[in-house]
Amino acid sequence: MSTRLTMRKMATTKRLLVAIMIAGCGTQSMQEVRGVVTLDGHPVPNAAVFFLLEGDENAVAMGNTNFEGKVVMHRISSIRAIPSNTYKVVVIPINEREQNRGPGVAEIYRDAATTPLTVEVPLNEEFSLNLASQK
């Protein structure tokens, strides 16, 4: 992997992790969008999930999966609703040690530049993200 690509991925990951910290601060009132994340049909616990607009590396919404892989997405701002749009989705394991016990979340899903995952908001039901393990 080139140094340039590695630096870009590190910068993107840092911005997303800052978004996690910001989202944890304060008491924002936000619309909920619910979903479930699975890897080869099994729940993905303890992962950060981000909604991003095409061409923008700043997350619009984020959530953390529980032990069942379920996630509630919240808007990262004082605006209440997650705007209607189609979002790219990035999934980053929070606890790498736990992820290393079995197949991990592939790198393709961890980077805004490479993720094939999308979700269209508004939703009338839970979204489902079915990831394939890295081979």
Give the tens place of pLDDT for each residue, 98-125.
545 556 889 999 999 999 999 998 877 8
SS3 1: coil
Q: Residues 39-60: what's their mean pLDDT?
A: 90
The per-residue pLDDT of the chain, averaged, comes to: 79
Q: Tell me how far apart the alpha carbons of residues 13 and 79 are, in angstroms, rounded to a whole number.
A: 24
Strand partners, 42: 39
Query: Which residue type sits at 130?
Result: N
97: pLDDT strictly greater than 60: no
Indicate whether this model's pTM tops 0.85: no
Q: Tell me how far apart the alpha carbons of residues 124 and 50 are, in angstroms, rounded to a whole number.
A: 19
Q: Tell me how far apart the alpha carbons of residues 106 and 99 are, in angstroms, rounded to a whole number.
A: 11
pLDDT tens digit sequence for 53-86: 887 878 899 999 999 999 999 888 777 688 889 9
Query: Which residue type sits at 38?
Result: T
- The reported pLDDT for the residue numbered 133 is 85
Q: Does residue 46 contact residue 98 with C-beta atoms inside 8 Å?
A: yes
User: Could you identify the residue written with the tokens 């959530």?
Assistant: 63
- The reported pLDDT for the residue numbered 49 is 96
29: pLDDT strictly greater than 60: no
Q: In order of start, what are the domains of the chain with their CATH numbers?
A: 3-131 (2.60.40.1120)
